[in-house]
Every structure is written in structure tokens, then in C-alpha cells.
Amino acid sequence: MLAGWLRNGALSRTMLALLALAWGSGLRPAVADDQPPAPPMATPLNEEAPLNGLPLQPADDPPARFEPRQPRSDADQQRLASLAWYMTGQLHQSRQEFDEAVAAFRQAVRIDPAAIDAYRTLIPLLYTRADDDEDREEARELALQAAGRTADGYDLVRGLAAVMARGGDVGEAAALLGKALELPNLQKGSLTELLLRRDVGLFYRLGGNGEKAAESYRLVFEALQKTDDEALSEEDREKLLGDPGTTYDEMGQVFLDAKLPDLAVKAFEEAARFRASRPAIHSYNLATVFRQTGQPEKALNELQKYFDAELQSKGRAAYQLLKELLDELERGDELLPKLEELAEKDPRNNPLQYFLADEYVESGKLDEAEKLYTRTLSGTQDPRGAVGLVSIYRRQDRPEDLLDALTRAFTVVPLPEDEETLKRLNADLRDLAERFASEIDALAEDESVLDGLMELGRKLQSGDEPKLEFVQAYFLGKIAAQAKRTEDVENFYRRAIDMRNDPPAVLYRELGEYLVGEDEYGKAAAVYEEAANHTSDNLQEVRWLFLYFQSFALEQGGKTDAALAAIEEAIGLRPDNLSLRFQNGWIHLHSGELDRAAEVYKDVIARASSARNMELMRRSQFVLSSVYVQQGDMEKGEQILVEVLEEEPDNVQANNDLGYLWADQGKNLERARKMIEKALEGDPENAAYLDSMGWVLFRLGEFEKARDYLQQASSKEGGEDSTIYDHMGDCEQKLGDEEAARTAWKKALELETDKTSPDEEMLEKLRSKLGLDGDGKDESGTTASSDN
């Protein structure tokens, strides 16, 4: 599991270079959609207007209006009008008047939906508008519209998809190309279709969907293999393949990962045809196929050919494959000698040198590893060496060297915050990121080494001339946060903030998030307030965001009036941001002001009219339903969920929530069961949905099955919930186990009591079941917590 604070890594893939689209730059944010004044060329001449003011010679005939031999058709008139709007848009764009330019280009494509030049200019303008999801959605729709009208439009779709992928939206990029592949005017088997399938295969691969990537590549590969009348022309093959060796190699790897070894071999053989001077690459590829098909000896023989060529193109993966093959053959003791032999023959092969050093570490040969890391790392900032030295210095408890290696690695290792981004890194970088994250996890758990590191940091920051650097302070704060050392977290984050006149917003955000996670709401609110009031221009641009964070901390700390004041100021700064209004509703709900919360959520739902706000609208509907239920108006609460299901019959939360409401009331139980089953099909690990299933089974009298689901619910993330344990107690009682029932109810009482704003009705119900008074004591004066 990667540490939660890991930084974003870069996305770099070979084939993205084939998918470029030129985009505008320097755009200012805009949302206006006003139609500009009609350009002069778009206004037809008045047939009755006199032709005055034309110079005539004495013998000239009077001027006469030009009458074309063949009058312009309506289609011609439309094209001319569209062209006039397009030229008007270009004029506005040249003057940096982007709102007006966008409006003019929109008019051009409205008049002539096949005006490809207008699309080419309008789509980049819309897509590059900062933080405007509606414009980006319009850009996608226009690209598909262009493709549906003209063949050149498909190039726009592919270009836009490439830009989306470079921005990290590979899933959306693949979805856009998928829609283009469904357009009725797309000729099956054409170069255009194959280019789309090649690109969508790439995006599926980058997104970690190997099965879909393989299916897309298979169709392209089969087309490339045809030799009959349907075979592609040489020109089309070149356009489709780009660099043939690289493209076929990529296809082969995708086929191999998808467990399609026969196709993989064919693709690798094609790659080899275009790499006559580098047959060793083909040998490596064959080794991967032989390994997958259970032929490790053959795989070793082919891998040796790759080693003999002293290539580095496969990086660490080649030596990892060697290690795995020897392990499969139960010859793991041959690994180090083999690596040493290869390293001696190829001393400039850095991937090999680092892999050998890593194996020295794993074997406990730390001195040999340090020498090799240091020698290979000399004069470079190679992250592989830095991560390797971190491992050594941590094990040897050398805090000064460890801090130096940690901060060096921290500045050069790409570390994504989520698994999806991690998957997009190439294999070597992904392995490096995971190893560094593992080292951080090990360090956070090693109290002795961490004590020395923190003591060193405090020493470096003390005195008249402190020597602690900004990156060191920041890193020490992050590792202290992972180890839950609050005093050190505050100290080093504060130090990092004080070292910058214009401190990055991330410092305040991360420090505040940590304090909130530790229930230090007052301290967190103070951190967010400081950020919101900082004089830095960069921080003032996101003042609204820190007011939003502050409102949460204030409300959690019981300061509702201050929380409302903060969120209302944020709304004043960003009145169109519905998430801020949703937060306003949450504050009222959390403080028990149900009527006011209902008003706010209804307002959010009314404002959330566009597709980009659909998720927020749904969340508001679910919360509003819950508010009505808490107010005792079950009918209104149910009606909202019914309306959601009319629009989205498969919405998992609506199915669960309505099913639970019915189960809780003991009505429509079989329907409720089916609805909760549907919810669990969509999210089988959801603790709330498992609890719902347990509760409807309880109502149906299937107590043993109900207990199974409730026990599952309590073991999942979010399963430490008073309602789940209350239900479990009821179920155990029905099964005749009073002791287990009391244990569950006591756990529910403990969980509810520990809440910032406990539900008094729930507390009273649990005390009643346990036979306790309002002070939590039974008739003998014993508290629930001491009751065995």
C-alpha cells in the first residue's frame, strides 16, 4: 500500500507522440455564450438598394448588379455565412478576445455543422478553458459531431483524446474514442477505424485495462496481417504503425499480459523483422513467452542471448525475469554469482549495477551494496541509487546519511498518490516508487531510527544559523505525520512554512488534514485561518478553499456559528461552486438544524442542472432523503429515492437506501431484499450495504444469515458503526445468545457515545436494551463498560 502523501508522478508513453493536436495558449477563464454581432459578410445585400458612389467615365454604361449565371444554393449561402462567422472568430482571437471568438466559432458550426476549420479552432479553445467542465464536455461533443459530419473530424477526436490522456484522463480518452467507433459514418476496416482502435488500445493499456487493450490491438494486428485484397496499402501501414518495431513490441507485451501467448509470439516476430540489427530484443520477448507457457529452461536460454548482447533497453525487468526463472527452477543460489559475472562484463550498465546492489541489500551484504550504489551514483541524481542508500542507512541506523538520502530520493522519485496513476508509470519507475514507499513505511514503524532522525532534524533547525533545508523540513513533517508524531508534525511543517515568504498551499492543507485526522479541530481551524488570511497572492487565490476546510474543522469542534460564517464567506467568493453550498447544508445537518439543512439541500438540487453537477445533485438527494427520515417524514424520504430510481434503476445507493428504509419499517421486504442485492452486486465490500442485507434478513426471520452479513459488515472499512452493532445485538438475542447480544449492544453504545454529536435517541434505545439508566449504570450501580 502506497503512503497517502506520495507525490504525483509523470505520465510518459511512446505512442502519445503519434497523437498530437495543436492547442491555443494564454486563454483567460470565460463562460460567456453571448452571440456576437453579425459580421458584415453574413448580411445579404438589399436587392432594391441603389448602387451609388461608383466612379464612372463619361462613356461608361450605367452600373448593373452582377447576376451569376447559376444562383447560389441554400447550402452555398450557409457555407458563406459560416465562413464569415469563422473569420470573425479569427479576428477576435487575434485580439485576445476569447469570449467573443468562442461565440463566433460556435455560430460558425451551428450554421454549417461540417465547417471543419471552425471545429479545429473552437475545440481547443473550449477544452483549455481553466476549470470549466461544461466547456470541456462541449468540446468532446463537438469533436464527435465533427467526426459524424466529415472524415477530418476523426482526427480531431483522436487529437482531443491524446490531450485528455496527457492530462491523466486516460479513461475518459478511451471512452471518447469508443463513442467515435460507434458513429454510423465510420467505414469498417478503414484506416480511420484502425487508428481509432490502435489509440483506444493504448489508452486502455495506460489505464490498466489489459483485456480491453488486447482486444483493440488484436483487431488492429489482424488487419495488419492480411495479405489478400483487403490488405492495407503500404502508406496506410506506415501511418498505422509509426515505428513498427516499437508498435509491434507493445502489442506483443499487451497480448502476453492478457494471456494470449500465440498472438504475443506473432507480434514479437513482426517486431523482430524491423529490428534486424537487434535480434536480442526478440530473444528477450521469447523468454517472456516461454516463462508464461511453463518452459523456464527455454526462457533462460533466450534470456542469455539478450545478456550476451549487453543491451539495457529492458532495464530492470530483464534481471527480475532472471531472478524469477532461477527461483522457479529452485536455483536461486545462482543469482548473485550470475549478476556479478554480468556486471563485471558490462560495468556501464546502470540498471544491472543497481539491481546487483539491491540484491546485495536483500542478502545482508550492506557494505558491498553501499560501495556499488555510491560508485554507480557518483555525479548523478539517479533515484535508484538514492532509494538503495535509504535502505542501507535505515538498516544501519545512520541518521545523517539517511536524511541526506531520503531528501535526495524525495526530490527525484516519482511517487503517485493513487494506484491508477501508479499503473501508468513504466515498469522500472513503478517498481522504484513502490520500493521507496516501502522504505518510508518501514521507517515510520522503526521508532529507534525515527527518534534519531527527528532529533537530527531538531538539531539542524536550532541555533543562530540553522542548517535545516526546506525539503528536509517538509519531508520530516510528512514522515512524522505517517508515524503519528503530532509534536514533530507541527514543528517541521511550521518550520517549512516559515522558510517561505510565499508558502505553498499544500503545506497548510496537509498540516490541517493531519490535525483534523487527529481530532485536533481547534488547531486545524487555526491553520486554515492562517492560510486564508495570508498575504501571498497564490494563497489568496485559493482563500475560498481554506475557508471551506476551516468550516469543517470549526463545526467538528462545536463552533457552528463560526463555521457558518466561514462557509458563507467562501460562497461569497465562489457563488457558483455548489460544493460550498453543499457544505453549508452539512454544517446545519451536523449541528442538528434539520429544517435549515433541508432548505439548503433543496437549493443545491435546484441549482445542479448541468451534467457536471449530477454527482453532487445525487449526493444532495440522498442526504435530503435522510433528513426527511430523521424528521419523521418517511414518505418524503422514500419519494426522493423512488424518483432517483425512476431515472437510474441501477443506482446502487438508491437501491440500498430505499431497501433499508422499507426493511426498517418491516414493509415490502422481498422487494427490499432484491434492491439491496442489486446494491451489493455493485459494491460488495460496502459495510452499509452489508448491514442493510443483514437487517432485511433479520426482518424476514432469517437470523443466522442475517448474523453472517452483519459480521461481514463490522469487519469492513466503516464497519465500526453503532447501527451495525445494534443490529448484531438484536440478531444474537433472536438466536438465543444473550451474552453475545449484550457485547454487541455495549460496543454500539461505546461507538455512539464517542461521536462528536451522538444521537440521543440511539443512546436511549441502547441503554434500555442494556438495562442502564441515563448515567450508563444498571440497577446495581455497575457501568456498561465494566459489565462482563
- Tell which residue, 434, 446, 479, 444, has the closest CA to residue 2: 434
Judge whether 726 lies within some domain: no
In a domain, residue 549? The reply is: yes
Per-residue pLDDT at 432: 87
Read off φ and ψ for residue 303, nearest 5 degrees: -65, -35
Query: Which residue in this structure is represented by grid cell 469508443?
Result: 178
**539: which residues sit within 8 A by CB, 6+ positions away?**
502, 503, 505, 508, 531, 532, 546
Query: Taking residues 380-402, what's their average pLDDT?
Result: 91
Q: What are phi and psi of 783, to 5 degrees?
A: -80, 160
User: Quick check: is 323 in a domain?
Assistant: no
Q: Given pLDDT bands bounded at 50, 70 and 90, which one contains residue 276?
A: low
Whether pLDDT at 50 is above 80: no
Please report whether residue 315 resides in a domain: no
Answer with the one of 610, 638, 666 that is the final residue of a domain. Answer: 638
Among 175-184, 298-307, 378-387, the range scoring the smallest mean pLDDT is 378-387
CA 414 from chain centre, in angstroms, equals: 16
Instruction: Look up cell 485559493; give the residue.
Output: 542
Identify the pLDDT of residue 418.
Answer: 67
How high does pLDDT run on average in the chain? 86
DSSP 333-368: GGHHHHHHHHHHH-TT-HHHHHHHHHHHHHTT-HHH
User: Left, alpha or beta for 54 (phi > 0: left; psi -120 to 50: alpha)?
Assistant: beta
Q: Is residue 247 part of a domain?
A: yes
Query: Cα(518)–Cα(696) distance, rounded to whole angstroms?
Result: 36
Look at the block and give the residue holding cell 469542534.
557
**SS3 at position 292:** helix
For the chain, the helix, strand and coil percentages under 3-state DSSP, each to the nearest 5: 70, 0, 30
What tens digit of pLDDT does each residue of 718-731 get?
Answer: 999 999 999 999 99
499/632 same-domain check: yes
Q: Provide mean pLDDT across the span 194-205.
A: 93
Instruction: Indicate whether 634 and 687 sit together in one domain.
Output: no
DSSP for residue 6: P
Asked if residue 683 belongs to a domain, the reply is yes
Inter-residue contact 296 to 290 (CB < 8 Å) = yes
Q: Taking Cα atoms as reference points, which of 580, 529, 522, 527 lies closest to residue 553?
A: 522
Q: Is residue 691 part of a domain?
A: yes
Helix (H, G, I), strand (E, B) or coil at 226: coil
Rounded (5°) CA angle 642-647-648? 90
Pair 596, 701 in one domain: no
Question: Is the CB of residue 525 less than 8 Å from the CB of residue 516?
Answer: no
- Read off φ and ψ for residue 514, nearest 5 degrees: -65, -45
* pLDDT band per the 50, 70, 90 thresholds, residue 272: confident
For residues 35 and 88, give the distance between their C-alpha atoms in angstroms, rounded to a whole number: 12
- DSSP-derived letter for residue 405 is H
Residues 165 and 230 placed together within one structural domain of the fold: yes
Residue 23's contacts (CB-CB under 8 Å, 6 or more residues apart) are 124, 127, 128, 163
Higher-confidence residue: 21 or 577? 577
Residue 281 confidence class, pLDDT cut points 50, 70, 90: confident
Looking at the structure, do residues 132 and 201 belong to the same domain, yes or no? yes
DSSP conformational letter for 34: P
Q: Which three cell numbers stand for residue 578?
A: 455548489
CA-angle at 44, arms to 42 and 47, nearest 5°: 170
Shared-domain flag, residues 597 and 709? no
Residue-wise pLDDT tens digits, 750-764 = 999 998 778 889 999
Q: Which residues of 332-364 are buried (b: 16+ CB within 10 A; e: fewer)?
A: eeebbebbeebbeebeebbbbbbbbbbbbbeee
Q: Can you say how many angstroms the Cα of residue 132 is from the centroid of all Cα atoms in its chain?
A: 18
- 677 and 540, same structural domain? no
- How far apart, in whole angstroms, are the C-alpha atoms of residue 213 and residue 225? 18
In the chain, the percentage of residues whose pLDDT exceeds 90 is 63
Rounded CA-CA distance 530/4 in Å is 24
Is 679 within 8 Å of 688 (Cβ atoms)? no
Residue for grid cell 474543522:
553
pLDDT at residue 570 in the model: 97
Mark whether 481 and 573 lie in a shared domain. yes
User: What's at 415, amino acid-wise?
Assistant: L
Domain range for residue 496? 14-24+85-288+432-638
The mean-pLDDT minimum among 36-40, 243-247, 474-478, 674-678 falls in 36-40
Amino acid at 493: Y
Q: Cβ(102)–Cβ(138) under 8 Å?
A: no
Domains identified in the chain, total number: 2
As a whole number of angstroms, the distance between CA 524 and CA 490 comes to 11
Closest Cα partner for 377 from 390, 365, 364? 390
Q: How far are the Cα atoms of 326, 352, 389, 420 from residue 320, in angstroms, in the given order?
A: 10, 10, 20, 23
The secondary structure of 115-159, three-state, reads CHHHHHHHHHHHHCCCCCHHHHHHHHHHHHHHHHHCCHHHHHHHH
Q: Are residues 675 and 627 in the same domain?
A: no
Q: Are residues 574 and 694 located together in one domain of the fold? A: no
Whether 411 maps to a domain, the answer reads no
pLDDT in tens, 440-463: 999 999 999 999 999 999 999 998
HSE, side-chain direction, 13 A CA sphere, residue 137: 7
Q: Tell which of 638, 657, 681 closes a domain.
A: 638
What proportion of the chain, given as a percentage, has pLDDT over 70?
Answer: 87
Residues 106, 163 within the same domain: yes
- Poorest-confidence range of 22-31, 602-611, 696-705? 22-31
Answer yes or no: do 204 and 246 share one domain.
yes
Mean pLDDT, residues 70-99 taken together: 85
Beta bridge partners of 783: 777
Could you tell me the CATH number of the domain that includes residue 500? Answer: 1.25.40.10
The DSSP call for residue 18 is G
Which of 719, 751, 774 is at the close of a domain?
Answer: 719
Mean pLDDT of 272-293: 84
Q: Is the pLDDT of residue 277 over 60?
A: no
